[in-house]
Structure formats: structure tokens, C-alpha cells
Structure 1
């Protein structure tokens, strides 16, 4: 079986090919084509197949992570959306929840008002009304109003129509009928109902999710359709699967049905890979830092389990999106992040990026702004002739000139001091994000290993580890394409949800029967979808979740439902589990209070082949001459001073299991460079992971020297 993982980033498109029959793994990078990501994807696949001596028609699976949906939300260039909604409730998307980050500011921007997903003139009221708590019809649907509204939206030339009625999560009869009318009058238009996209309680979140789905749908679907066509033209016959925000794959057909599930498609693969590398190397607690050309994706993975955002808290650019997604914090910190001195004279780095075009000054493509990559070149941490295996030779003189003109001369520094300043600022930006996502949530980063991923990750990881107090750094075999490797680890995964509001006080046989039937219906939907995707019944696994709250509470918590047939004991276990979860989350619980069920979730997983690494031959050498390339001056901060130190370069592909590299050193591979400062050392794991820890002997020597120096200075005074 031949599988290809393709992850599109802001600067580069990363690819990995695994040929299981030939026991062969190859990686590749090509510049991303921002005007049409599929161009870079097809180019990369063809080149990687040529490198791997594999015919493109022999590929069985294309596993793809994409930033198309994310870019649409960032750039705000999505579809013109029309909405049909319950009369007197057209402004729900404007009113929202009255939540503001700055409670007392009258000048802050509220994205859902300043840049609404659906403009007010395109939100048309329809006479209809359902009644809580059972969804019975209170006012019948006025079908003539629906027809007139659709004609009006057609005249406005909207790109897509959504239907969002009150209480449709209880009864979707009006939304279904409205969609039928839309399809009768305007069959060419895409129409989504809120009960299809997000059948959950809370009208604002449901409407916002449906609106976001429609906002990104035309461009995402056009991209996927274009990619499918381009793969066919390139004679690639393998199945195309797309990474979802939840960390599960979806078939290309399923992905086009709910494209908002792809909003964090890109970072999700990197999180899965980090968890997998940690488990492979016996590290249960991992902080993943994936530094690319444009941004850094940071995720905390405790106890081998990537954290999932509670759907009620999920959002994209401040718009609520009720969809499962892995917890990833993305900040503007990458190799292309631009350094500058602002109007107030402050030294800053990012979030603006030079991207791949024109890129950092050292690319020689017309870029004049100094970037993080330029700083690494100036400090000798990135060898110009080794970048991407020599395919893109860098121009160090342009890096020096750019940093000197824009930073060093302005702040009266040497070029090396300015370059070190760039690295310190970018590292501190990432450290602040890590602390916010760990310490703030009761997690001590000193108990976690740091996984260095992305093309720039291994360049910064050890300095970053020292900043946050992490004692171990892991550099995976293919750091520059880590997210692509994560695609090979993921399984097909779908979430099916149904709102079911019920007090869990008197557990009757009727309640047990109804809940059991509802769960079975959800499982049947999931099974049918996975079987359509080619998964055999024996490879399907289910996770069942009940969302519960205390009566009168505003928000619910997710509680696992016991396996097997639903019984009275199962429901009692759900109640008990909720009390425990409440205490864990809030520090207290109320065992005497009535628990209310809000919704049922099914997470269905279709198991697919995993990624396997061969074990390396073990010799156990120290600074092996067989892997030595050459020596070059590299700048490090030693005892507060910036010093140029002759630093050996080692070729990573020639390192074997249990080899030891002592710092200072630079370990070079095609997709990245790992910097090992003085006082640190690296040991190669049996599978090839670089495990970096502080060299205790050198650290003690340095501390002794510093102590002696301090005593001499004191005695002289």
C-alpha cells in the first residue's frame, strides 16, 4: 500500500510518502501556491513520486490537511450568504450573547457586528413558530413567504442560503420544508439548514455555525472539486481523504457536506503526530510547538491524549462554531515573521509574515524586511547551502544588510545583537502562549517534554525549552513535515449529534427505551457513512457521550456513556459521571441536585492503517565522525555574552540508534536543522528521534566557573 500525506502551510506544502511493500519513507517540500493550493499539491505529489520511484497511479490514499477554510475566515472573503429565519428573530446573529472581551470599552470591534457572516438585508423573516420543550408546531410555516423571500435573495444574487428557525433542534419539519421550496425555486443554489449542520440547543451558536458553514462552503467545495479533478488528470487513482478539525479524516464527499469541519484541518495533523511521537518515545506529557514559515501552532497533550475543545467554547475569529476541534493555539510566529522597530521605538517581531513570496530577505526574491529566518542565517544557525537540501540557496549578505539597516542601526546594536534580539522576542512570544495554555489551566510545563516540529521548530526548541523550564526536547524524524506525518496516523472519524432534553431523575423503562433508540439511530447513521467510505464493519469503533448539566445551569459538561446496551444502570452511571466531572471541572458538585440531559453524541471511528517506523541499527557512538560534515562558526549566548563558537555539523541520516551528540552542534537534514547549544546533548532513540537534554556535567562545570568568577570579582571589590 502506498499512502501520501500532504499538508498545505502558508509558506510550504509538506509531503510524505510511505510505501509499505517496499518499506520506504520519503519526504518532500514545495512552495505553497496561495492563488490555488491544488497546484502546489499536484506538483509536490508528482515530484515526490519521482523521488520515491513510485508511479502516481500506484498511490492508494491521498491524505490531505488544508488551510483553505481557515484562510477564508482570516481574510474575510467568503460567500455572500442569505438567511431565512423565524420572524422577529432576524437579529440574533447581530445581538449574539452580549459578550465582550473588554466589558467597559465602547470602541472595541465586535466581529459579528462589524463583519457579519450574513448581512442584515440578507436575513429575511419567515412566519413560523415551534414551541418548547417538545417542538410542537405553534404557528404553521407560511410557504408563500418562503417563496417570496427566496426570489428576493435570488435578485440579490447571494451565493448560498441558510435556514435557521427557532427550536429546529427539537423538530426540523419547517426547516426541511423550507429547503425543499428553496430547491424548487432555485435548484442551482446550495442550501443548508441549522438542523443539518448543528442540531443543538442555543439559537445563536446554531445559527452562527450554520452561517460559518455557508460562508466557507463555495470556495472550500470548489477547491476540493478542483483538487479531485486535478488528481484525476494527473492519473492519481487513490482515495482522497481530508483532515478535520477534530483530528479525524473525512472522505472528500463528506467534507463538502459540512466544510466548517475543516476550519482547523491544517494544525490537527500536527497535534496527532506530536501525541504519537511522544508515545513512541515513552513521553506521556508533550507540548507540541510546530513552527512553520508563517505561524506557530502550540498544543498541550497531557497523558497521551490531545485536548478537545468543548463544542460550546469552540470559535473561529470570535465567531462561535459548534464543531469538534482539537485544542491548538496559533500565533504569528514563524520563519517568515517580520522584525521591525515600531513608531514608539519598540523592537517587535510578527505577526506579519513575508510568506513564501517574497519571503525573508535571504531568499533573494525582492524581500527587504528582516525575518526570523534571516536572524538564524546571520547567527550561523542556518547554513545557506543546506536549506531544503540546497534546492533554495540562501543569500546571507542580504540577511545581514536587512537586519543592519532596519534594526541594528536604528537601535544602535551590532548585527549579531539585533539577530539575537529577534530570536529572543519570537521565543518569548511562544513561551507566553505556552504558559497561557498550561499554567493558566493548572498544568506545569516543567513536567512536559517539548516536541519540536515544523521547519523552524528544531532551530528554536531548546532555547524555548530553557525559557519554559522543560527538561527534554524531542525532534521527530521528519520535523519539517510533522503535520503531514500526522495525517498518516489518523483514522476516519465522524461526529453525530442529537439534542435530547430530559431530566434524569425518575429513570423509567420508557426513558431507557427512548434514549437507547436515539443512540442506535445515531450509530446507524455513523455506520452507514463509514461503510460508504469503504470501512468494514469490524473496523468501526464508537464513543458515546452525554452532554449534561444541573437543572437551572447555563452550560453542560460532556460525560462518557458506558458501552453496551443502554440500561437503567447505564443512566445511573451517566449521572454519577456527571457529578464527578463537575467536581473535576469546578472543584465542587451537588449530588442531591437533579441532572438534566441536553444532547447525545456519537463519535464513530473507522480504523485505517497506521504509520510504522523501522528501527535503526545500534552502535552507540559519541560525536560520530561518519556523520560529521564540516565545522562553522555559530553564535550562542554563553553566560550573558554573545559568542561565536566553532560548531560541528552532523548529517542526521547517518546517525544511528544510541548515538550521542554533545553541544555545541548542528544536526542537518533536508527539511530542518536542529541546533544543540553548549550544555546540551542529544541521544538518538531506536526509531531515530533526537532526544535532547541538558548535559549535567557541562552545566555543573559552567556553574562552578561562574561561581568562582563571582567570588573573584567580589574579592577584588
Structure 2
């Protein structure tokens, strides 16, 4: 494909937009592989306005007409924000008689064992809008009690009268036989067609009713909001002569059509953070690092994830709106997602005193009013204000010069904060910087050490506007030896969207003993059916050569309640059972420190089906400052190891493979700044990435 149309006009092959809490990141790639990026403040009151305005600005920068856009890709935090802030539509829940309290009872596990005031997460649907109906399906799929049609019609009428805009239908064991749920959907279509209906069997085909029911409720809660947002977005794009199809990033790391995202918004709850991890996996592999910690720090939050053998770690389920990063404290979603942890520590996170102690986050100044140094009305000091006072940021070139930072305002705000502690502005700034790095270190340990992984065995790839400012300090605390700052790190999630592919993942529960002698036959039967379903969702035939599949099995010792997932080998021969047993023993030992010689059972089966496209990352061009000098100047900065000192300031776009930046120093570019600590050595590789050897010069 060429970069021009038949008439010779340049066209945009793909546009990617990632809307964060503070900044909206955009990237465009044309048919020749030329990439143009753009960064602007988010418009939280009307994200559609910020979206289309950003696209118009990006097209103007690229010199491309709106009608020559072929495809738009979007990652958004809309889903998670709606759930966390409880901004969803009024929703009802219909379940099997006797199970109306499942959402309130939740799990027996206490996330804080000794806390007598511990509160369970509040369900998205109040008990007053929960209905029960007579029906019962057994775990085998056998119908024990048919659906009471007369009672069901009465309930539909009551739900309609309640004012609910959406309803979640969750019946016991519907994963084994969805007949009764499908009958209820038909009744709603006949009696109340204006109500959006979510079936638990459509969002999850796995056992364990609480997670499945909550996933269905969350999907129903989000559906009216997501449909309205995507509808307004499509209309606004059409008004600007953009008719290109819109793709949405899913939590599992693949793209889906906007139509499917509107029907299953629960699968895009972690849309925004996932795009960044996708980029991290690709870019780190290009720089020769297959095992990395992905660290993404923007204006509102920081996210960390693990990439092993060039692939992001996928979790079969996750929790949203967790308290203090504690397992069991959030609402479980039985949907596949990139395994990541997110905390309220971003560039806009507010520093304050609580009970005489300094605390950073989770409150954020976001884009409105923003940090004090933005001079947009903010009065509380933030992480960005601290970085500016420490000398890590240049007031004149922040965000490519789009925002001129007010250093005096930041100094005054930090001085006020530190006064009760007897600290001046610089000391307070250093305290804020240290504290936010420690918060991120703690979070990263939860997804590495707590899961049997040693962070010292991994490199770190950092991105996001604030990521490279803090990553070297974080890497040093974790014992990481190498750090990668990819080209375009400040808009990393948008670049991840550019290179993502369409992906569908399905899972099913079916329990068999691994030693039963029929593993190969069952695996082939289940995965052939899952492949047919997934391919149909993507509009393809199961044997389409453009599709690539990965297969996974959830295994556990017989009698256990939870599984560990292993990937099937590419060839299923007669020794599949033994291979799975060996893989499970290694994984179990990694996680728990030992393994047993006990009977194994397979319980869950998952397929990941994705389209195989051109690896567009291979063709990304790196922006260069032709004829410029790598060393652009010097300025004063503060480091705990040296105190205030004069440091070199480098222009990333003028650096070549022969240049070496030795810390302490900073490397500046349009969308971010990389801070190197004393003893660090930075260089540019052939892909334009900054490769930092942590503490190498001090050895």
C-alpha cells in the first residue's frame, strides 16, 4: 500500500487517540509509515469535543484531509471512570429464585482480616432493584425447573416500571445451558424493547456465579453510557467529514469494532492502560528485551504490568475499584484483561498533609485546573510541581512548548505545604518525589514479587508524560539494571493503538481429570467450538489464514477452588497430559514455592484469536533534529545523592548512536523528559529508543 491516493493526495492509514485523565494523546501513521503525534489537555466535561478537536489538530499538523482517514482507533478510561464514580445508568438484576443476595453477600474472604470496620464493595445495583424468578438449571446443563413464563412476564413489567434503563440477567449455571436467559431476553424484546439486556452467559461462560453475575451487572450498567458516547462520537466525526470505521481497545489487549464494544463495554473497562502495555511489549522486543516491567505514568495515574517472552501477562479476571491495592476489595469482573496494577500517582497527583504526614495522591488536579505550575487556577502542589522545582523539567519546553510552566507558583505552593514540617520548597519537592516513587515501587512489587517474579530479572520500559521522569529512581529501588525509553514515549499508549490488531478471546468451563486419558480429544473438541464462535464474532471463517490462535487451560489440584493457567503447546500429541502436568508443576512452584504429586484437573479452557497483520512498528520513523547538537545546555537540579548540582541537558532528537549521556542529566524531547540519576548511562539504539544502564558508570 502506498501513502497516496490515486489522485496523489496523502492519506492517514490509521489515527489513534488515547484519552487520559489529564492529557489526550494522538498519533497518525500514513501509508508510507510516517508518524505524526500530538498531545493536548483532556476536556473532562465533554470528552467527545476533545476527541474530535484533537483529531482535527493532528490532521492539520500532518497536512491530511479529513476524508482521507481510513481507520480510527480509540482507547478510553470511560468504563472504569463510570464504575469508580458510580455514574452509570439505573440498572436492574434478575436472577434465580433464592440467589437475589449474591451481589450483596459476595465472597467469604475478607480483604482486611482484622479490620472490624471493613466494608465490602458497594454493588452497582441496589437490593431494591433485584428480582428473582422460578427456574433452575443444573451444573450439567440439565433443566431441573423450567422458567415460569407467567412470573417472568410480571417481572419484566415491574422492571420496566422501576425506571431501569438496563437489566442484567444472571441465572445459576447458565454457562452450561443459557436457555432460560435467552428466553428472558426474548420476553424483554417483546414487552420492554427500550431496555438494554445483558445475559451473564453472553459476557462469561465460566462457573462461579458471583463473578459472572457482577460482570453482567457491570456490562448492563455501562451499556447505555457507552452506546451514547460512541453514538455522539460517530456523529461528531461525520460532521467533520470523517467516515472511517472506529475501533476500540479491549482490556485484553486487542481491538474490537465500536458496534461490539457498545454491546459488551465491560470488555473495554481497562481500555486505556492496555494500549500502553501493547506498545511496551512490541518496543521492548525491538530493543532486544523480551522480559520487561511496563511502567506507564501519565497525569492522573501510574500503571505497571509484566511482559514475559515478549507478551503481556493476561489475567482471566480482575477487580475494579479496589481499596489500597488489596485483593478482594473491589468488584470482580470475569473478563480477560492485561494483568496490571494502577494507582493514583501521576503528574497531577496532589501532595497534602494528613495527620502531620506527607501524602501524595490519589486526588488529582487532572487537566482542570491542573498543577499549580500550569497557571490555570490550581492551588495545591502536585508531582509535576515538585519535578519542576527539582530542576527536572524545563518551564519553556514542557509539552512541546504548548504549556509554559510557572516555576515561581510551584515554589510558593510547595513552600506552603512544607512550612508546618519545617521544610523549604526544595526539601518538600524532594519529599514528594521520593514518596511518589515509593508508592510506585510498592505497586510494582505486587505484580512481580508477590507473584513469584524477581524484578531484577527484568528490564523496565517506561512511557507516559511523567514516566521517564521517575522511572530511573523506581528501577534503582527494584534492582532493575536496564531501562528503555521508546521513541514517542510521551504518547506511548497512542502508538500502542497504531500497532494493535483485532482480537477476540473466549473461555469456557468444563471440568475433567487430567489423568482421565481423553485430554487431547476434549481439548480439540472445546477449542474447535471456541474457535468457531470467536471467528464468527470477527466476521471470518474458522480456518481463515489471517487468524492466529493461542490456547490456554486452567489447571488445579483436584479439590482446589482456584486455577493456574498454562498455555498449550502448538502441537497436541498423545503426550499432552504429561506436558500440561510438567508446565503446571513449574508454574505452581514458581508461585507457591513447591509442587505436589497429586491428581490434576482441567477446569477452564481459553482461546485467543487475533488477526495477523503487517507489523507496522517496523516502519515507524524516528524524529531527528538534523544538524542539531546533542548537548543543548546545562541547568541546576537536585538529587538525593548529590544535592543541588549542575547537570547536562540533552536534546533527544539530536542524539545519535555514538552519543552517551552520563547521569546526573536530563534528556528532553517534545512530549516527555528522561531523568538519569548519578551513575546512569544512556544511549540511543537503532530504533531510536533510549537504553539506560542503571548505575553502570558508578561500578
C-alpha distance after superposition, 1:280-325 (max 9, x if no partner): 11122212221111111112223323211243x5555311111111
- Which residue in 2 is equivalent to 1:335? 347
- Which residue in 1 is equivalent to 2:135? 128
| Structure 2: distance between partners of 1:662 and 1:105 | 49
Q: 1:169 to 1:691 in 2, by over 3 A?
A: same
- Which residue in 2 is equivalent to 1:441? 451
2:282 matched to 1:276? Answer: yes
* RMSD of aligned Cα (Å): 2.6
- Which residue in 2 is equivalent to 1:369? 380
2:303 matched to 1:302? Answer: no
- Which residue in 2 is equivalent to 1:704? none
Kindly report which structure 2 residues correspond to 1:148-227, keeping only aligned pairs within 5 A, or say none: 148-227=154-233
2:621 matched to 1:643? Answer: no
- Which residue in 2 is equivalent to 1:245? 251
Q: Deviation of residue 104 (structure 1)?
A: 3.5
8 Å contact kept, 1:84–1:123: yes
| Structure 1: distance between partners of 2:640 and 2:589 | 46
8 Å contact kept, 1:658–1:685: no
Q: 1:419 to 1:98 in 2, by over 3 A?
A: same
Corresponding residue to 1:392 among 393, 396, 403: 403
Q: 1:435 to 1:569 in 2, by over 3 A?
A: closer
Q: Deviation of residue 562 (structure 1)?
A: 4.7
SS in structure 2 opposite 1:626?
coil
Corresponding residue to 2:476 among 466, 487, 512: 466
- Which residue in 1 is equivalent to 2:461? 451
Kindly report which structure 2 residues correspond to 1:650-661, keeping only aligned pairs within 5 A, or say none: 650-661=650-661
Q: 1:123 to 1:233 in 2, by over 3 A?
A: same
Q: Deviation of residue 471 (structure 1)?
A: 2.2
C-alpha distance after superposition, 1:412-448 (max 9, x if no partner): 2222111111111111111222223222333332332
C-alpha distance after superposition, 1:89-138 (max 9, x if no partner): 11111111222112243311111xxx222211211110111223x22122
- Which residue in 2 is equivalent to 1:604? 609
Q: Deviation of residue 601 (structure 1)?
A: 2.0
Q: 1:656 to 1:589 in 2, by over 3 A?
A: closer
| Structure 2: distance between partners of 1:448 and 1:520 | 36
2:369 matched to 1:358? Answer: yes
| Structure 2: distance between partners of 1:546 and 1:439 | 24
C-alpha distance after superposition, 1:4-24 (max 9, x if no partner): 121111000001111232x41
8 Å contact kept, 1:298–1:329: yes
SS in structure 1 opposite 2:202?
helix
- Which residue in 2 is equivalent to 1:481? 491
8 Å contact kept, 1:14–1:484: yes
8 Å contact kept, 1:360–1:370: yes
| Structure 1: distance between partners of 2:244 and 2:395 | 37
- Which residue in 2 is equivalent to 1:491? 501
Q: Deviation of residue 478 (structure 1)?
A: 0.9
C-alpha distance after superposition, 1:213-264 (max 9, x if no partner): 1112211222122222222222223221111111111111121221111111
Kindly report which structure 2 residues correspond to 1:15-30, keeping only aligned pairs within 5 A, or say none: 15-21=26-32, 23-30=33-40
Corresponding residue to 1:431 among 441, 454, 477: 441
Kindly report which structure 2 residues correspond to 1:555-704, keeping only aligned pairs within 5 A, or say none: 555-563=562-570, 570=576, 574=580, 577-578=583-584, 581-589=587-595, 591=597, 593=599, 595-610=600-615, 611-613=617-619, 626-639=629-642, 642-645=643-646, 647-694=647-694, 696=696, 699=698
2:545 matched to 1:545? Answer: no
Q: 1:179 to 1:393 in 2, by over 3 A?
A: same
SS in structure 1 opposite 2:276?
helix
Q: 1:676 to 1:110 in 2, by over 3 A?
A: same
SS in structure 2 opposite 1:612?
helix
Q: 1:144 to 1:351 in 2, by over 3 A?
A: same
Q: Deviation of residue 572 (structure 1)?
A: 6.2
2:529 matched to 1:521? Answer: yes
SS in structure 2 opposite 1:255?
helix
Q: 1:39 to 1:516 in 2, by over 3 A?
A: same
Kindly report which structure 2 residues correspond to 1:66-85, keeping only aligned pairs within 5 A, or say none: 66-85=76-95
Which structure has the bigger radius of gyration? 1
- Which residue in 1 is equivalent to 2:18? 7
| Structure 2: distance between partners of 1:590 and 1:694 | 39
| Structure 2: distance between partners of 1:471 and 1:516 | 43
| Structure 2: distance between partners of 1:88 and 1:158 | 22
Q: Deviation of residue 465 (structure 1)?
A: 2.3
Q: 1:535 to 1:578 in 2, by over 3 A?
A: closer
SS in structure 2 opposite 1:365?
coil
| Structure 2: distance between partners of 1:574 and 1:488 | 35
- Which residue in 2 is equivalent to 1:48? 58
C-alpha distance after superposition, 1:25-79 (max 9, x if no partner): 1110111111232221111111111111122222222111110001011101212
Q: 1:154 to 1:666 in 2, by over 3 A?
A: same
SS in structure 1 opposite 2:420?
helix
**TM-score of the superposed pair, with normalisation by structure 2:** 0.92
Q: 1:536 to 1:4 in 2, by over 3 A?
A: farther
Q: 1:675 to 1:599 in 2, by over 3 A?
A: closer
| Structure 2: distance between partners of 1:687 and 1:515 | 41
The structure where helix makes up a greater share of residues is: 1
| Structure 2: distance between partners of 1:605 and 1:155 | 43
8 Å contact kept, 1:84–1:125: yes
SS in structure 2 opposite 1:209?
helix
8 Å contact kept, 1:535–1:606: no
Q: Deviation of residue 398 (structure 1)?
A: 0.9
| Structure 2: distance between partners of 1:137 and 1:465 | 56
- Which residue in 1 is equivalent to 2:146? 140
Tell me which moved more, 438-447 or 456-465: 438-447
Size of the alignment, in residue pairs? 680
Q: 1:589 to 1:380 in 2, by over 3 A?
A: closer
| Structure 1: distance between partners of 2:398 and 2:125 | 45
- Which residue in 2 is equivalent to 1:706? none
| Structure 2: distance between partners of 1:553 and 1:695 | 45
Tell me which moved more, 291-300 or 547-556: 547-556
8 Å contact kept, 1:615–1:686: no
8 Å contact kept, 1:492–1:608: no
Q: 1:469 to 1:319 in 2, by over 3 A?
A: same
Q: 1:512 to 1:404 in 2, by over 3 A?
A: closer
8 Å contact kept, 2:681–2:695: yes
Tell me which moved more, 72-81 or 299-308: 299-308
